[in-house]
Structure 1
Amino acid sequence: MVPADLNVLKCCQSWVDDGYAVVLVTVLRTWGSSPRPPGSMMALREDGAVSGSVSGGCIEDDLIHEMREEGVRALCADALPALRKYGVRAEDAHRFGLPCGGTMELVLEPICGNSVLPELVEQLEQRKAVLRCLDMETGIATLGPAQSGDLPVLVEGRSFRHALGPRYRLIVIGAGELSRYFCMVASGLNFDILVCDPRKDYLVDWDLPDIPVTREMPDDVVLQANPDSRTAVVTLTHDPKLDDLALMHALQSDAFYVGALGSRSNNTRRVERLRDYFDLPQEALSRLHGPAGLYIGSKTPPEIALSILAEMIAAKNGVLLSSQPSVSEGKALLVS
């Protein structure tokens, strides 16, 4: 489960270690519509190889062409960080494939020893939130802890600040039809997803190649992941042999959301098992979202996936919801 940002940074460092000149491109600001949000990164190697993305492709093509034809100094005068805007004029927006009215500003940074990438990669691999500050006049970068309120990217004077940290993770137990819809939407919400299902038959029709699947036992997967406050665990199998042990570990972790699919009666029996056979304390049991999801009258797998994701996002964003209403109430109540 390697976050995209970390993969870009690791590519940067690997290419520099191999003797290549490399420019790190970061989306600083956007106006109107834009293909990628602020903080998105791309590594650009002197021979035109890239890792990551800052647009739908046309801006990358322009930077690649310039890098190949003229080298790093064409992008970064005096081998120092530089700013560049795309889409200011209508013809530029059309040329570079930006949506109507879209404009984006990029930071172009030549990677060197002052970029402190090895230290940054090490901290991100430890799932730390890091604030990287780049002096645009000297190219010297420093690292410090990122705070929850830090913007993804910010320019103050000639200082470029980039808050980096682990993406929110999602561990999904079960690879059935519901899981497929669940993961499709969660992927669009930028979760770093791992699906776990040791049942061979359930993996035959899995058609989401960008979402990894493991056949390890769910409890082993949860233990290895060591869920932190940016991790959610959702069980979707209805099978106690797969769900219960995974839930036991997840409920005793720092996971911000632990949910389990099933009816109210199934959930009652699940809680009893976790309490009576696994000795989970009430404090841990009270963290279980079961049945998982907000009541929206969902019947189909896509609707059920939407209801669970809505509850999960509410937990991620710190929105307090009342306990699940009965079906007769027909709605979920928001606690002010």
Structure 2
Amino acid sequence: MSSEEGLSSAISDWLFSNSWWLLLPFIMLLVVAAFIVAFVLLLYMISPLISPKPLKLKGAHVVVTGGSSGIGKCIAIECYKQGAFITLVARDENKLIQAKKEVEKFAINDKQVVLCISVDVSKDYSQVESVIKQAQEKLGPVDMLVNCAGMSVSGKFEEVDVKRFQSLMEVNYLGSVYPTRAVITTMKERRMGRVVFISSQAGQLGLFGYTAYSSSKFALRGLAEALQMEVKPYNVYVTVAYPPDTDTPCLTEENKTKPLETKLISETSGVCQPEHVAKVVVRDAVQGNFSSSIGPDGYMLSALTCGMSPVTSITEGLQQIVTMGLFRTIALFYLGSFDSIIRRCMIQREQSKASDKRE
């Protein structure tokens, strides 16, 4: 064998004996990928074991505040369709009577009852506690409370009457605190129950014209997170719903005074129907999901703003971790678009004022 052939053979032997080092990164990548796949599969397998047991609505007592119209009435109808007993709570007695007739059309058996209570849930806690007690005496302990009473005011911060800030906090926040306070002790004693807070996408993202409204809806998120930590050991679960603009009487009134900037921003997500919102909220509440969102935009906002909020399953938390970066990137484009809308409106307004002065 020549020296050249010997050298070539030695090099070949060396490469063969050491080539596995070149494959090591690829092998490690395969191992990591296999581990991730196995981990995800494991999460999906054990997730149902740690998720709350769904609440059965047939025969359950569901209290809906703000139940005389809009989302509240549709939620009452959706629960009634599933066999629940309903207590409708609102201020206007005439609207309550009309809502009662509409809900009763969807009965699935002749034992179901719709009870109406006329009271302002935001003013006097002792009165709210008293009427909830009366409802429980007639229809049994409350299995699910849906806090849907609310109102909306839009306008520039310096143009909104300061009393409106107070009234929105009373109705949107305290109007949810008082009924919840009236039922939560019994729920804990029974080791079961659902509490639903109807917030808004404006309770996840502060938008132009919603300084008063957004702050009252953001407050519900803090209440819900703290309350869930307290009541979870008692098998009581809290749900916060974040519906977008929904075709309700409240939205019709709001649109009459909504600033141009707010209208243009709202148009980017469209308007939902209350029946669809009701189906999603009831489904999530029954499952015990903490966050209830509507549509792709709602899902993205919920993932983006999850922060330290509780999760119902491990897979939900994993989804939030995986999607956070992508959704943040998309959100930056949205924010840039909103800022552009506001700047254009400001420039047009200033040009219009300058033109009026010249004339």
- TM-score category of the 2 structures, normalised to the smaller one: 0.3 to 0.5
The structure with the greater share of residues assigned to helix is: 2
**TM-score normalised to the size of structure 2?**
0.36
**TM-score normalised to the size of structure 1?**
0.38
